[in-house]
Chain A
Amino acid sequence: EDQVTQSPEALRLQEGESSSLNCSYTVSGLRGLFWYRQDPGKGPEFLFTLYSAGEEKEKERLKATLTKKESFLHFTAPKPEDSATYLCAVHSGGGADGLTFGKGTHLIIQP
């Protein structure tokens, strides 16, 4: 059974204080690992897809990396508008369509 564990559950940072979120996964053949941002009461917003170990992707203040066992979402000099819940999800090689999500990290960036 696919498992996704995110840490920490919650993180409070000062504006400009860089940090990383962790996503550890156990899957039967990883087809893709996805990062989403979710604001309260809204749908998950797609951020990144990573397909193979060693892959990195960047967008504005965010950088996502992937190893064979985990992924990191790094925030460089975050701003208050980056406050949200960040969800990690995996698509395994078992032929299933649905994503398996982690519980998310609730990130708060204080001005």
Chain B
Amino acid sequence: AAGVIQSPRHLIKEKRETATLKCYPIPRHDTVYWYQQGPGQDPQFLISFYEKMQSDKGSIPDRFSAQQFSDYHSELNMSSLELGDSALYFCASSLGTPGGAYEQYFGPGTRLTVT
């Protein structure tokens, strides 16, 4: 079965640079979520989109923005990168309206290293 695709899988950036992470949800899934997982930490919810509109916002820094496109893929844009932004970034997708307890399927993640 098709899974969530994320690119790139690894990314190295310097402080104050920008980064763009991409996510391609499971076909027919209409909701995309972004999570950040620091070393030894649990995943923290950043932001979600349903039918190309922002649905919910978690602990996403103002330096980050995201959007969902007409083909349902999503991009997370990160600017003015800081050392503390080094983490695994996961995208997840689900089928269903926001607020419903639908299973979220996670991608393999993008490992971002800021030097």
Contact = CB atoms under 8 A, between A and B. Distances in A.
Contact of B55 (A34, A45, A97): A97
Contacts, number: 68
A21 interface: no
A98 B88 contact: no
Given A43-B108, A87-B42, A102-B42, A97 B48 contact: yes
Contact of B45 (A45, A46, A49, A97): A97
Interface string B42-56: 111110101000011
| Size category, B interface | 20 to 34
Contacts of B50: 97
Contact of B101 (A43, A91, A101): A91
Nearest to B100: A31
A41 B109 CA distance: 8
B107 interface: yes
A60 to B, nearest CB: 18
Interface in A37-67: 41-46, 49, 51
B103 A41 contact: no
A49 B106 CA distance: 14
B47 to A, nearest CB: 8
B90 interface: yes
B84 interface: no
B33 interface: yes
Nearest to B56: A97
B103 A97 contact: no
Contacts of A49: 101, 103
A51 B109 CA distance: 27
Nearest to A45: B106
A41 B92 CA distance: 16
A103 B39 CA distance: 12
B64 interface: no
B106 A97 contact: no
A75 B105 CA distance: 22
A97 B31 contact: yes
